[in-house]
Structure 1
Amino acid sequence: MGVRLTNVAKTFGSFHALRDVSMEIPTGSFAVFVGPSGCGKSTLLRMIAGLEETSGGEIVIDDRDVTAVEPAERQVAMVFQNYALYPHLSVFENMAFSLRLARRPKEEVNRRVQEAARILQLGEHLPKKPSQLSGGQRQRVAIGRAIVRQPKVFLFDEPLSNLDAELRVQMRLELTRLHRQLGATMIYVTHDQVEAMTLADLIFVLKGGVVQQAGAPLALYDDPDNRFVAGFIGSPSMNFLPTVIAAREGHRVTLQLEGSEHAFTADLSGQAAVGQAVEIGVRPEHFRIGGAGLPVQVEVAEELGDVSYLYARTASGREIVVQRQGSRDRLDGQTVQLSAEPRHVLVFDGEGRRLR
């Protein structure tokens, strides 16, 4: 077992930052906590690290209850958004600092630092000071400082947010390689769902201190449990349209668009009453252009070569984003018809719950 949380809660006075959070993160997995600012993801990470006390529940690491254990005894290592490197020390000394503090033998210190430097491709930079390094290299030093401790769990608190876009992409790749090379349990916090999708084996989507859904990245993308997860996972995000269930025949339902004569169809096996107001969700890549369908006017077309994005509006003024692959025809200012296959039309009730 890697990390297990059971009914973990955190309150600050009358404010509930986390509510009865339970999860299991298998040994060797790369788990990501993702959600908007204030959802409780960083607080949850700090509680696993022991930097925040729990208000309730149990935290278990490697089959050991660490709920009341001091941070230094939990066998975890944390990498923060701020590199927190000592500017007057060399890269080697920064990475060796915790080992020297623990009075580890000189030979062991040298061996661990050299091994971490090899993994992170920092060997030639060991004599340098942090000021001589790029942002990406400094972040790798911070990660190396965690590696030398040989923890059971690595904790990352938005470590790439200070980097520019190109470096973020590069560091994502390096973190993925590092995880495969070390085979260690890693827990990563971010508000960036693209980082979550590209890094994680297992994603936990949080909102308001509650885990909305957990699962593999593509499982959340293809099969969200509620409107929040559907809209949060995916870039560009899912399109939502208000509709009414106009008819039902077996599992097939007709969904009449609000204030329009146009309709979509979807498959629902559960209870859904004719006349019920619902909202449909369609991802940008699942819209098809042509034939009979919902008319929208294209306001802006972004042509990116292999893919293009159409930003359009319905007659009622609702914004729609359509993704197209390999098309080179310009549609700016034109009206096009949109349709979608029933299997790609998701349905949500008034509370945002997914109807299946």
Structure 2
Amino acid sequence: MEKITNENLYNKQQQEIRDLKENISQRKQWFNKAHKMAGTNDHLRALSKKHVSIMRSKEKKLEKLKENGVERIKDNSSIKLTLNNNNSFKTAIRVENLSKSFDKKLLFKDGNFTINGGDKVGIIGNNGSGKTTLLNILLGEDKNYIGDVYLNPNMKISSLSQYLEVVNEEITILDYLLTTNETENIIRLYLGSVFIKGDRVNTLIKNLSMGEKCRVIFTKIIIENPDLIILDEPTNYMDILSKESVSLLLKSYSGTALVVSHDRHLISTVCNRILKIENNKIINFTGNHTEIIEFFTCNKTSNSKLKVNKDEILMLQCRLSKLSGLLDDPSLEKDAKLNYEKEFLNTSRRISELRDIKYKK
């Protein structure tokens, strides 16, 4: 029994090693080709850097697998592109005192936030909380609300779902992307970055899996380089490779994006902003990759414990976690440490005060 289990684990590990080697090899080939052709193409150069970063990560994972992997029990029997920098819009969207009800049900009230050019914004919340409704309001497709919403009229907007609805499936991948007026060599580079290469580019779109189709269409959107990209539950259609490809392209894209999704990995990987609809409020949170993950973690913890003032407590808990990490830094200067310690103490006191209010009620 032990031999069979070990053999299964070993074989699974070896397959993972082969897959990693193949992935690393493909990324190296793509990078070498893209690096030569990128020239002054800012987007291709950015995309190349992302590929190198992922490639290094996979190389480290491969090394760990080789060093710490399962050992087989011995059997002694015989047996780069020229795209404009489109984050130049200082204000892409501005919302003031936004409230919305649907069939007499309040979705959210008194929402205030500004989305700047280049922001990648994740819109999250429970089913029925009003995520898609908020998206439609921001895009001007739903006018039945209270408050003021400004959408920069100069922005070119592209939506993955709209492209999916109108794509011509009777043409090849290459012909479809040639409608962007980009050169074939550049198109092949982009397709290579999402693991569609060689003769595969001559495949009819109707013969693609849904995941492949999403990769192709999203590649077209990126090449066209709109100012604002809309993704409404994009991972519903995607396999793992497609999710990774879209994340990679989106991170190297300089414009603004609104992403409605339950996929926390996609949100935390790509977004620097969160708009969360909860208890009829729109919670606005800004942070880097680590802070976005902390936001999800803190939110998960607080949901079961706090019902009163929980939005403020949530933000304070996330800040407390951040301060704790900063104070653990041995290279921290004395003055900075004193300031962080003071803020840590004040933040802790404020959390205690808010919890006291809850329990008194």
Length-normalised TM-score, structure 1: 0.52
Query: Once the 2 structures are TM-superposed, how far is the Cα of residue 32 of structure 1 from its aligned partner?
Result: 0.9
Q: Aligned to 1:131, what secondary structure does the other structure show?
A: helix
Partner of 2:92 in structure 1? 3
Q: Could you say which residue in structure 2 is the equivalent of 1:181?
A: 252
Quote the Cα distance in structure 1 between the aligned partners of 2:246 and 2:228. 14
Tell me which protein shows more helix as a share of its residues: 2
RMSD: 3.8
CA contact (8 A) 2:211 2:242 kept: yes
Q: CA deviation at 1:214?
A: 1.2
How many Å apart are 1:78 and its aligned residue?
0.7
Tell me the secondary structure at the aligned position of residue 176 of structure 1: helix
1:211 correspondence with 2:282: yes
- Aligned-residue offset at 1:160: 0.9
- For the pair 1:129 / 2:204, whether they are aligned, the reply is yes
Deviations 1:256-288 (A, max 9, x none): xxxxxxxxxx96323857xx9x5xxxxxxxxxx
Tell me the SS of whatever aligns to 2:230. Answer: strand
Distance of aligned partners of 1:48 and 1:128 in 2 relative to their CA distance in 1, 3 Å threshold: farther
Q: Say yes or no: does 1:144 pair with 2:219.
A: yes
Which residue of the partner structure matches residue 270 of structure 1?
350
Larger relative strand fraction: 1
CA contact (8 A) 1:4 1:59 kept: yes
Going from structure 1 to structure 2, the CA distance change for 1:351 and 1:186 (only over 3 Å counts) comes to farther
Corresponding residue for residue 252 of structure 1: none
* CA separation of 1:351 and 1:27: change in aligned 2, threshold 3 A: farther
Instruction: Name the residue aligned to 1:46.
Output: 136
Aligned counterpart, 1:336: none
Number of equivalences: 226
Mind listing any 5+ residue stretches in structure 1 that lack a counterpart? 67-72, 100-108, 243-265, 279-346
Distance in structure 2 (CA, Å) of the matches to 1:208 and 1:116: 45
- What pairs up with 1:280-291 in 2 under 5 angstroms? none
In the TM superposition, residue 2 of structure 1 has moved relative to its aligned partner by 4.5
The AA in structure 1 aligned to 2:170 is H
Q: Which of the residues 265, 268, 281 maps onto 1:197?
A: 268
1:20 pairs with one of 110, 119, 140: 110
Q: In structure 2, how many angstroms separate the alpha carbons of the residues matched to 1:218 and 1:95?
A: 36
Change (3 A) 1:126 1:27: same
- Equivalent position SS for 1:53: coil
CA contact (8 A) 1:117 1:144 kept: no
1:230 is matched with 298
Q: Is the 8 A contact 2:136 2:142 kept in 1?
A: yes
Matches within 5 A, 1:332-351: 349=358
Alignment-derived partner of residue 318 in structure 2: none
Given the superposition, is the C-alpha separation of residues 218 and 92 from structure 1 closer, same or farther in structure 2, using an over 3 Å criterion?
same
Give the aligned residue type for 1:88: E
Aligned to 1:33: 123
1:204 counterpart SS class: strand
Shift of 1:156: 0.7
Matched, 1:87 2:162: no
2:138 counterpart letter in structure 1: I
Contact 2:108 2:277 in 1 (8 A): no
**What's the counterpart of residue 56 of structure 1?**
146
The secondary structure found in structure 1 opposite 2:234 is coil
Tell me how far apart the structure 2 counterparts of residues 348 and 145 of structure 1 sit (CA, whole Å).
53
Cα distance in 1 for residues equivalent to 2:128 and 2:197? 39
1:157–1:188 contact (8 Å) kept in structure 2: yes
Asked if the contact 1:205/1:211 (under 8 Å) is kept, the reply is yes
| Offset, 1:93 | 4.8
Q: Percent identity?
A: 15
1:21 aligns to what SS in structure 2? Answer: strand
> Against the structure 1 CA distance between its residues 272 and 209, is the aligned structure 2 distance closer, same or farther, given a 3 Å change threshold?
closer
1:123, distance to aligned residue in structure 2 (A): 5.5
Q: Structure 1, residues 18-61: CA drift from partner, whole Å, max 9, x if none?
A: 43332222322322111111122222222333333352334444
- Summarize the Cα distance change of 1:2–1:139 in structure 2 as closer, same or farther, 3 Å threshold: farther
Aligned partner letter, 1:198: T
Q: Note the alpha carbon deviations across 1:149-187, whole angstroms, 9 max, x for none.
A: 431111111111233xxx33x334323321343322222
Which amino acid in structure 2 is aligned with residue 193 of structure 1? R
Q: Which residue number corresponds to residue 78 of structure 1?
A: 159
Letter in 2 for 1:129: L
Secondary structure at 1:171 match in 2: helix
Measured after TM superposition, the shift of residue 207 of structure 1 is: 1.8
Match of 1:281 in 2: none
- Residue type of the partner of 1:137? E
Greater RCO between the two (CA within 8 Å, min separation 6)? 2
CA–CA distance in structure 2, aligned partners of residues 47 and 33 of structure 1:
13
